[in-house]
Amino acid sequence: MKYKSLFKQIRSIILIEVGTLLMALSVGLFILPDKILTGGVAGITSLLVAYIPLSEDYMVIFLNTFLFILGSLFLGKEFFMNTLIYSISYPFWLLFVTRVMPDIEPVDPFLASLYGGLIGGVAMGIMFRNGGSSGGTDAIALIAQKYLHIKVSQIIMFMDAVTVLAGLYIYGLNSVLIGLVSVFLTTIAINYTMNIYSGVEAKKFEIISDKYDLIAKDIHEVLERGTTVFDITGGYTGKKKKMLMVIVSEDQYNGVKQIIDKYDPSAFVIISEAKDVNGEGFTFEPRI
């Protein structure tokens, strides 16, 4: 168990680093060069560079560092630990992308917004799933939640909206519309990444049958899956029955149906999608 825990921690650190690199690529290759009015620190930087004579990459590093310190002071150890890896490595990755990597040819602003938003969303999804955080404006949202009791999602949405709309005065409507594409795609990519980078998707069978014991026996022996038996009472008839529940992988779907048909073709069966299934036989051995 000790080695499994250590392996899990090392794996999480590596994946947070992967997420950090992807974030640096998103910001350094697409968001900053085209001054995309996206959310977060990168979007704020696109506004401030119009007034402050400082390079975009250094501006991002300064703001992220400031918000990391601010968040650590107000939110304590948990925020500090969750954000530490990102806060240390992100400046190096960003400077590597902007200063060391060869320059790429200019990208159409719409494409920059599209790919910047998607890559940035994937990066944050990976970090969130592994206990990391990108810090940045999330720190302000978390502080507001702690002291003002306002939902994090509402604060982040408000800040992103203000950032993008403020660009209307500086860069015009076209830039605002392009920026909204980035914000929208980032949200989609975060949700998608967190869903696929999660537990296994599977099928849940709820089976009401007088032959539940025979069905369960075959599921155990043939499919090597565990089952759970519930005592239930019919709401209309008042009769007491047994309900069998089993979670199986997608490739075992037809196998369960064949077993049910074998013993009780008239069984009452509910089949539903089971998302984010974790545990033995799904997210770790003996069966995946």
Closest C-alpha among 117, 126, 93, 122 to residue 16: 126
Token pair belonging to 89: 């490595």
Are 109 and 34 in contact by the 8 Å Cβ rule? The answer is: yes
Are 206 and 245 in contact by the 8 Å Cβ rule? The answer is: yes
Predicted pLDDT at 286 = 45
Residue spans of the domains in the chain: they are 2-196, 200-277
Predicted pLDDT at 283 = 53
Residue type, 118: L
Give the length of the chain.
288
Average pLDDT over residues 149-161: 76
Average pLDDT over residues 241-249: 91
Considering the four listed CATH numbers 3.40.720.10, 3.30.390.30, 3.40.50.720, 3.30.70.120, the one that applies to the domain covering 200-277 is 3.30.70.120
Going by pLDDT thresholds of 50, 70 and 90, the confidence category of residue 288 is very low
Token pair belonging to 18: 């992967």
Q: What is the CA radius of gyration of the chain?
A: 25
Going by pLDDT thresholds of 50, 70 and 90, the confidence category of residue 159 is confident
The pLDDT tens digits for 75-133 are 888 788 878 888 889 999 999 999 998 877 878 999 999 999 999 989 988 887 777 77
Check: pTM over 0.95? Answer yes or no: no
